[in-house]
Amino acid sequence: MILLRRTGRIAVLTLLVIPIIAVTTAQQAAADSRKRPQADAGTQARRMLAQLKVAKPLSIRGYNRERFQPRWAHHKGTCDAREMVLARDGRGVRRNAACHPVKGVWYSPYDGRSLKSEKQIDVDHVVPLAYAWRSGASKWSQARRRAFANDLTRPELIVTSHSVNIAKGAQGPQSWRPPRRGYWCRYATSWITVKHHYRLFVTRQEKVALLNMLRTCRG
């Protein structure tokens, strides 16, 4: 009888330990799966960055925003590229008959602010138009520059708060980074993805700054 009681206690303890181990393992697996996408994105971004030409910035001479974007291009019916981004990046967005948002909530990943008024937000070009001009876009056709300025496929257009967009201006990552450090990985991978697709070169200082931000990619 004593042996049976001990055996029963051991069995109960075993049943308790197994679920705890299982839960811990599941939690670790979930944490690893969250880290993996950023780590993979960081690895891919490093490969793309290594393929980009390194050169000195070109002259800003001849640059004008209208050389890229005299106005936002229409993408779907009456909706232009800016309105498409506002609808894509917002929550609970309501638009009027002309496709302009009249209600919604937008999150600015650069500074972590939630904004409820369209007047508080901008649609930012991740790689600024003036910066792209000095990175090789000055040699493009007008059509290619227009496609770049209205690109909804690459991570070039993003909703941000007006204040942080003004602070960023036309600066590159060597002189401006999102105030929210938790977004550095995504910002660097987006910047590199855009430049790689359009075959824009990087400066030496820009490349160093991007590599430093990629170190924040978890994993």
Q: Enumerate the domain spans of the chain.
A: 38-214
% of the chain residues with pLDDT over 70: 82
Integer-rounded Cα Rg, in Å, for the chain is 24
Q: Is the CB of residue 177 less than 8 Å from the CB of residue 212? A: no
pTM of the model: 0.82
Q: Summarize the chain as % helix, strand, coil (round to 5).
A: 55, 15, 30
pLDDT of residue 219: 58
pLDDT of residue 32: 41
Rounded-to-integer distance, Cα 90 and Cα 116, Å: 10
Rounded-to-integer distance, Cα 93 and Cα 207, Å: 37
| Strand extents, DSSP E, 6-149 | 74-76, 79-80, 90-95, 101-108, 113-115, 121-125
CA dihedral 65, 48, 176, 67 (to 10 degrees): 0
Residues 6 or more apart from 12 whose CB is under 8 A from it?
none
Higher pLDDT: 155 or 25? It is 155
Residue 166 in this model has a pLDDT that exceeds 50: yes
Residue 55 in this model has a pLDDT that exceeds 90: yes
Residue 79 in this model has a pLDDT that exceeds 90: yes
Residue in this structure with the two tokens 């909703």, named with its chain if needed: 159
pLDDT of residue 117: 87
Residues 6 or more apart from 81 whose CB is under 8 A from it?
72, 73, 74, 75, 123, 150, 152, 157
The values of phi and psi at residue 101, to 5°, are -70, 130
Per-residue DSSP letter, 160: E
